[in-house]
Chain A
Amino acid sequence: MKTDELIKEIENILSKAGTEPGLTNTGTASFVGDGIVKATGLSRAGFGEEVEFEDGTRGLVFNLDESYASIILLSDINKVKEGTEIKTTGKILSVKVSEDLIGRVIDPLENPLDGRDLKIKGDLYPFEKLAPSVTVRQPVDTPLKTGIKAIDSVIPIGRGQRELIIGDRNTGKTAIAIDAIINQKKKDLGLKQVICIYCAIGQKRANVARTIGKLQEEGAMDYTIVVSASASDSAALQFLAPFAATSIGEYFMDQGRDVLIVYDDLSKHAWAYRQISLVLKRPAGREAYPGDIFYLHSKLLERSARLSDENGGGSITSLPIIETQAGDVSAYIPTNVISITDGQIYLETDLFNAGIRPAINVGLSVSRVGGAAQTKGMKQVAGPLRLELAQFRELAAFAQFGTDLDEQTQRRIERGKRVTEVLKQPQYRPLDEVSEVIIIYSATSGIIDDLPIDKIRIFEEKIMDFISAKNKKLIEKISGGAKIDDKTLSELKKEIETFKKTII
């Protein structure tokens, strides 16, 4: 900024600055410990109000008792001691939002974590906000492509949906979320660019750094914001992280843009909230969680919505992640979040160990939006997929016994094996709509029933290059997402069979 501009800016700000006397409400810290401060005074403090200690430390009023207020510390706890003066700020905790946040890594209080300065000029969005009402929403009918065949075909996600990713540790939950973020680079189907927000809650810093490195490598940081409250951060920051991410997402949604928020993971978020509640001596309920643990997640996830065109047409799609213990989806927090979200992607350790990656249990996974979030073309080719897999699962046990099976059963088993193989996908290799449609059609139509299973990987890798080189018009016909007519289907079938012969 030039000197003249800076002087003009200062004069502008000073002319607008109020001259009213400052009235603040003060108090004194009477107890400090475990990340909280109990303060006497503060008779006018409101719940959720930001307070400031005399050394500049920030806090959040979290409990209002008869004779004291409980404050959770948002900064380094070592500087505050008994007797420290506290004053209210009259503000609720908010985050400043603007386009400058894109590509940055920040903590929930907007301190930059990527080693660069961060100066934001923008609006203030409160951490806690009411979810959009029913009347300002519209139905979810636009796909959010993850680029993962198993998801886009069988468990399709729409823009504005909440789809839970649930599974044990090391089953590939974060991998699915990261692939979904990377796939937004493609701007598939001519849809709006999606702004992605990856919210890391209680994660190891090494893991977060690895994730950021991968996003940078794939060019995804051009449209991604990372909000991180790692395992070594206080429970207060871990509690606030998803709210900060959602507030940032709401800024872009209000501009009419589509946003994808990944909450990784809400189990650790629940732990942080439990810790804070126990320290504040709130009554403990089941598994020592406070009574409002359901409300904590429901109010967060309800802020994901697809707004009507009159309200900008923007959307927030959420991918909350929950970690189960020993595959127990009937535990407290998993069942809570399953009942809140619009479907779940269930990952199993057994499938992962068997080499089926992504380790999605298609039988237990569901998308309550379903076909409404799929293109007509994808719906057409993926329709038989779920049934094929269900039939295969039932018959697979017989195949293991090596019993004599009739021809139809054997065909079903062979088809199931190929469909299962086709749904496997390497990490960081999301596919576009056309590739997905062609590959899935190859499997469900039976064209590759006679292709050896170990050749399917090569088939998938090379089929698109083959068809693009030979028949580009066919790709264009399919890429629009419209229903594929019979003529195009037979053309596609012919090309696939020609290519198949080159591999066998």
Chain B
Amino acid sequence: MNKARIREVAKVLEKEEEIDSIVINYILKILSKTELRSLVNYLKIQASENKVYLKASIEDKEIIKEVERIFKGKEIIFEKDQALGGGIIVKYKDDVIDLSLSGYINQLTSTLKENI
């Protein structure tokens, strides 16, 4: 099975809430180890395309609403993390936007270490 087909299979599978065991057994039978690895990678990519991870020290409904507005149609998964101190971290696919207080302090600390 070529990579384009595997990508299509991943897209279809990702949409399902639950995958039938017959389908899984069939896929395991027909795909080689390398192809399976590719399928898993594409499934991960597909899953990440539809989800946005939001971390904040407090659960602020307005911030969550704003993030939902920016990432229309994506599922927002919220996680509370007091270590952030303030602000938020947004993760979408591979990109991480760090607007947290702890991130800013880390940035300043490394700048100071590099220059002094």
Residues of A near any B CB (own CB < 8 A): 6, 9-10, 13-14, 17, 19, 21-27, 40-44, 66-68, 87, 121
Contact = CB atoms under 8 A, between A and B. Distances in A.
Given A10-B116, A43-B94, A17 B107 contact: yes
Given A22-B103, A23-B96, A24-B96, A67 B41 contact: yes
A183 to B, nearest CB: 38
Contacts of B50: none
Contacts of B3: 66
A21 B95 contact: no
Contacts of B95: 23-26, 44
A13 B97 contact: no
Interface in B60-116: 91, 93-99, 103-104, 107-108, 111-112, 115-116
B78 to A, nearest CB: 19
B116 to A, nearest CB: 6
A17 B94 contact: no
B57 interface: no
B116 A13 contact: yes
Please classify the interface of chain A as helix (H, G, I), strand (E, B), loop, or mixed, using the class held by over half of its residues: mixed
Contacts of B104: 19
A26 B94 contact: yes
Contacts of B46: none
Contact of B112 (A13, A19, A23, A87): A13
A24 B91 CA distance: 10
Interface residues of B, number: 21
A392 B106 CA distance: 72
Contact of A67 (B38, B107, B112): B38
A43 B48 CA distance: 13
Q: Which of A17, A68, A121 has the most CB of B within 10 A?
A: A17
A40 B44 contact: yes
Contacts of B115: 9, 13, 121
B41 A13 contact: no
Contacts of A41: 93-94
B97 A14 contact: no
5 contacts: A6-B116, A9-B115, A13-B116, A25-B96, A42-B94
Interface string B27-53: 000000000001001101000000000
A3 to B, nearest CB: 13
Nearest to B103: A22
Contacts, number: 54
A9 B104 CA distance: 19
A489 to B, nearest CB: 61
B99 A21 contact: yes
A14 B111 CA distance: 8
Nearest to A68: B41
B38 to A, nearest CB: 7
A368 to B, nearest CB: 43
Contact of B96 (A26, A43, A66): A26
Given A13-B116, A67-B38, A22 B107 contact: yes
A385 B84 CA distance: 76
B76 to A, nearest CB: 18
A9 B93 contact: no
B116 A24 contact: no
A9 B116 contact: yes
B93 A43 contact: yes
A87 B96 contact: yes
A58 to B, nearest CB: 13
Q: Which of A19, A24, A42, A87 has the most CB of B within 10 A?
A: A24
A234 B15 CA distance: 45
Contacts of A121: 115
Given A13-B111, A13-B112, A66-B3, A21 B41 contact: no
Contacts of B98: 21-24
A61 to B, nearest CB: 13
A25 B38 CA distance: 21
A94 to B, nearest CB: 12
Nearest to A10: B112
B97 A17 contact: no
Q: Which of A21, A40, A66, A68 has the most CB of B within 10 A?
A: A21
B6 to A, nearest CB: 10
B94 A44 contact: yes
A106 to B, nearest CB: 17
Contacts of A17: 107-108, 111
Contacts of B96: 22-26, 87
A40 B93 CA distance: 11
A22 B41 CA distance: 26
Contacts of A24: 95-96, 98
Nearest to A45: B94
A17 B115 CA distance: 11
Nearest to B93: A43
B35 to A, nearest CB: 12
